[in-house]
Structure 1
Amino acid sequence: MFSETVKSKIKKFDVYRKLPQDLTEPTLSGAFVSIIACAFMTLLFLTELAEYLKVSTNTEMFVDINRGGEKLVININIAFPRYPCGLISLDAQDIMGSHVVDVGGSMKKIRLSSDGKFIEEEDLFEKEHKEESGVNLQEIKKQLDNKEGCQLIGHILVNKVPGNFHVSSHAFHNQMHSIIIGDNSKLDLSHVINHLSFGSNKDLEFIKTHFEEGVLNPLDELKRIRPDGVRDALSYEYYIKVVPTTYQTLEGEEFFVHQFTANTNEYSAQGMPAVFFRYDLSPVTVKFSQTKESFFHFIVQVCAIVGGVFTVAGLIDNLLHTSISKILRKRDAGKLG
């Protein structure tokens, strides 16, 4: 294909000149250095491969400018082992001054026996609409006497502004005296927060399985139980700082949820007890983005490993070979003593 003249000219560009095999000889020191170098290159290659396959997460913060007109989803699963479903109502109020009884969303009341067993399930909002026309006092008194409990499960939709939602008996304010007959100790809002989070439950479940960053449900499994020796009705307050958070996958898919931190307080209620969850939204959004090392960067690193180890091993081999040769020459000359 090529003439001999062209071939000879092309050969001048060869920087990998070959020595005839009969001009080289293997050495024991070279063999040891080669084995160690290969093992070291393999170790470094595996380390770099693990780094290439690993998915890391970058974090950034910026001011949230898309807050107006949005709804905040609050997921709730709270058990009240000493408070009957007949007395429980859920209200919400925000900083705009609007107070909403029967907030939007979906919420179930689950009646529990004194030993925590399921009795029946009711729709919280539908139940409260029915009770606006009249309260079944006998049924509520029966639930109190039987020491029934109640569990709230579902979600509510509130304006994306600072506010609060609270569990209480405000809907039965006018009838409360005839229900408890002056004994406030019956109103025990001891509770267990099985789950509380802000954002779509579907998105939250995905994030938990694909990300390790973020504080999405710090109140889960928290218990607030009134001591047996306390007769006063206690109110509980949770002060929650909500931080809008975006999670972005390697494929570019984004999930918008909220992290939060919380402090708690409890005190003797002057009137009817309640459990308040007061939330405030941070103006700063946190974004977690998944990243992965590029293939070209991986190739560059592998080349650096092979070339670097090969070069260093060659220097070490030359040093060993030269040293051993000098020692052997001195021994043959009888100069080692």
Structure 2
Amino acid sequence: CVSVVGVVLACALALVEISDFLTPTRAKTHGVDDARNATLRIEIDVTFPRMPCQLLYVDAYDESGKHEVDARGLLLKTRLDASGRAIGEYESAGGVDLGGLVLFQRRPEHAHEVREAKADMEGCRLHGELEARRVAGTLRASTGPESYEFLKEIYDEPWEIDMRHAVKTFTFGAEFPGAVNPMNGVRRMETKSGIYKYFMKVVPTTYSSTRALFGFIPWTVRTRTNQYSVTEHFIETPHWGALPQLFFIYDLSAIAVNITVTSKSIVYFLTKTLATMGGIFALTRTVDRYIDVALRVTSSHAKAK
């Protein structure tokens, strides 16, 4: 009976040791961000179910003065039908803009595109990457340079400009296990039209993972990336004094986070497991011996009586 209990206890502790071996040790420290001349990679995947690609513009600007208007070379616009299925990448009517004359000549065709897309209840998926300077900045999705007069020709009321959106991905760098990217999966489908603002505090993060080949030869993989926290604000726009827009406003924290994940070596695992097994069997043998002695003493006393 003692041997059976010992075997069960040994198996249970062996499972605990295996679980501990397979679970890496995770340590987190903080320090001052010392990154210099680094860029900020922003990955975006946002769907606007009722905003035609023909009207959707994206401006990217930062505190250093850099300003990119309708950054289509970096971000792609995919047209969506009324049910959300992709119907092709968007290219502006008339091809590449070559100057004011071309823009003027394109305008009737552009207006026709917008009216047709609105009638078909088209949406737009904005996705891709941006390389930004490592300073505070803003991404704005809006109707861009379109004039109020032009928009009033298309829409009867400003709240018909539908900036409802679903964010599939919004990250500031490479993903890693346990990364905090709270914008991923955000959906804002309010019926009222307005200005959406997301204020993000970006935290520089270094993720270091130490691995070992067959548990013997360790090496470290280091990833410099970012996490962020977010707060949001919504402003209803019932009048033509303000148009619906979407802002992603980000700022960088001066405090950096260092996350170190270390896997245990197989030598450590074997040493600890064998020591545990040896201790269990030694204890089992000792208990069995004491029980045997106790039974003999009890038996001899019974015979003496």
After TM superposition, the structure 1 stretch with the greater mean CA deviation from structure 2, 76-85 or 144-153, is: 144-153
Q: Is 2:233 the counterpart of 1:277?
A: no
Q: 1:236, 1:91 → 2: CA distance?
A: 15
Matching residue of 1:85: 53
After TM superposition, the structure 1 stretch with the greater mean CA deviation from structure 2, 184-193 or 302-311, is: 302-311
| Higher gyration radius (CA) | 1
Q: Is 2:229 the counterpart of 1:261?
A: yes
Q: TM-score, normalised by structure 1?
A: 0.75
- One-letter amino acid matched to 1:87: L
Matching residue of 1:167: 141
Q: 2:202, 2:138 → 1: CA distance?
A: 12
Larger relative contact order (CA 8 Å, sep ≥ 6): 2
Larger helix proportion of the pair: 1
Q: 1:74 to 1:104 in 2, by over 3 A?
A: farther
Q: Is 2:180 the counterpart of 1:215?
A: yes
Shift in Å at residue 186 of structure 1?
2.4
Instruction: Structure 2: state its 5+ residue gaps.
Output: 212-218
User: 2:163·2:244 contact (CA, 8 Å) conserved in 1?
Assistant: yes
Alignment of 1:36-51 (within 5 A): 36-51=5-20
SS at match of 1:96: coil
User: 1:237·1:265 contact (CA, 8 Å) conserved in 2?
Assistant: yes
The partner residue of 1:239 within 176, 199, 205 is 199
User: 1:77·1:154 contact (CA, 8 Å) conserved in 2?
Assistant: yes
- One-letter amino acid matched to 1:237: K
User: 1:76·1:154 contact (CA, 8 Å) conserved in 2?
Assistant: yes
User: 2:14·2:273 contact (CA, 8 Å) conserved in 1?
Assistant: yes
- One-letter amino acid matched to 1:215: V
Q: Is 2:126 the counterpart of 1:155?
A: no
Q: 1:196, 1:180 → 2: CA distance?
A: 31
Matching residue of 2:30: 61
What is the number of residues matched between the two proteins?
Answer: 287
Matching residue of 1:189: 163
Instruction: Structure 1: state its 5+ residue gaps.
Output: 1-31
Q: 1:265, 1:93 → 2: CA distance?
A: 20
Q: 1:37 to 1:113 in 2, by over 3 A?
A: closer
Q: 2:199, 2:158 → 1: CA distance?
A: 25
User: 1:166·1:277 contact (CA, 8 Å) conserved in 2?
Assistant: yes
Q: 1:129, 1:63 → 2: CA distance?
A: 45
Q: 1:180 to 1:53 in 2, by over 3 A?
A: closer
User: 2:53·2:90 contact (CA, 8 Å) conserved in 1?
Assistant: no
Q: 2:2, 2:290 → 1: CA distance?
A: 11
User: 1:246·1:254 contact (CA, 8 Å) conserved in 2?
Assistant: yes
Q: CA RMSD in A?
A: 2.8
Quote the sequence identity (%): 26
Q: 1:127, 1:245 → 2: CA distance?
A: 42
Q: 1:122 to 1:35 in 2, by over 3 A?
A: same
User: 1:103·1:157 contact (CA, 8 Å) conserved in 2?
Assistant: no
User: 1:84·1:150 contact (CA, 8 Å) conserved in 2?
Assistant: yes
Larger strand proportion of the pair: 2
Shift in Å at residue 104 of structure 1?
8.0
User: 1:93·1:164 contact (CA, 8 Å) conserved in 2?
Assistant: yes
Per-residue displacement from partner, 1:272-308 (whole Å, max 9, x unpaired)? 2210001111222223323122334334323432442
Q: 1:176 to 1:49 in 2, by over 3 A?
A: same
Q: 1:92 to 1:315 in 2, by over 3 A?
A: same
User: 1:105·1:157 contact (CA, 8 Å) conserved in 2?
Assistant: no
- One-letter amino acid matched to 1:106: L
Q: 1:321 to 1:247 in 2, by over 3 A?
A: same
